[in-house]
Amino acid sequence: MSGLDQTDLAILRILAADATRSAAEIGRSVGIGQSAAWRRIRKLRESGILAGRRVVVDNAALGFGVTVFLGVRLAAKGRTSLDEFERAVTAIPEVQTVQHVLGQFDYRLRIIARDISDFERILRRRIMTLPGVGQVEANVMLSEERLPGPLGALG
């Protein structure tokens, strides 16, 4: 029970699609005034539902054209080995995301490389030398599509 009405959901959908829209414009789209729209946006921010704004950086435009997803299974699991692995993996600059997961693997990593041979270097020198690394599985990304997600499932 988040206490959100249809207007709040409509505002969230608009902002999720394009964060540059102004409060006045959003208000017009959902049928309320600029001030009312702004207050709702502030409330969404204060409630933690809107958890910040980020720019989208095009890694390919920066010369990093290869994205690889890596499933990592640790050889030995323990409290210390998880901490140790996380500390070491977050220090690798090519690692963009670290996800601690449950299932066949213990961690999922999103890795950015300039090209495939650059990725091989990262895998051999950086990843395979991490403390406690066991089985590793790689998937090279061809394309990615983001969808509205839960905002589409609500209302």
Cβ–Cβ under 8 Å, residues 127 and 118: no
Q: What angle do CA 33, 151, 48 make, to 5 degrees?
A: 70
> Does residue 6 bind DNA (CB under 7 A)?
no
Nearer Cβ to DNA (33/78): 33
Residue 73 CB neighbour total at 10 angstroms:
16
The reply on whether position 10 binds DNA by CB under 7 A is: no
Interaction between residue 66 and its own copies (CB under 8 A): no
Minimum distance from residue 82 beta carbon to DNA (Å)? 39
Which C-beta is closer to its own copies: that of 56 or that of 76?
Answer: 56
DSSP code, position 72: E
DSSP character at residue 125: I
Of the candidates 116, 121, 118, which has an alpha carbon nearest to the alpha carbon of residue 141?
Answer: 116
Q: Which is nearer to DNA, 39 or 100 (CB)?
A: 39
Our finding on whether 46 is near its own copies (CB under 8 A) is no
Cβ closer to DNA: 35 or 80?
35
Total site size for its own copies, rule CB under 8 A: 64
CB atoms near residue 32 (< 10 Å): 18
Binding positions for DNA, rule: CB under 7 A = 5, 7, 22-25, 27, 32-36, 38-40, 42
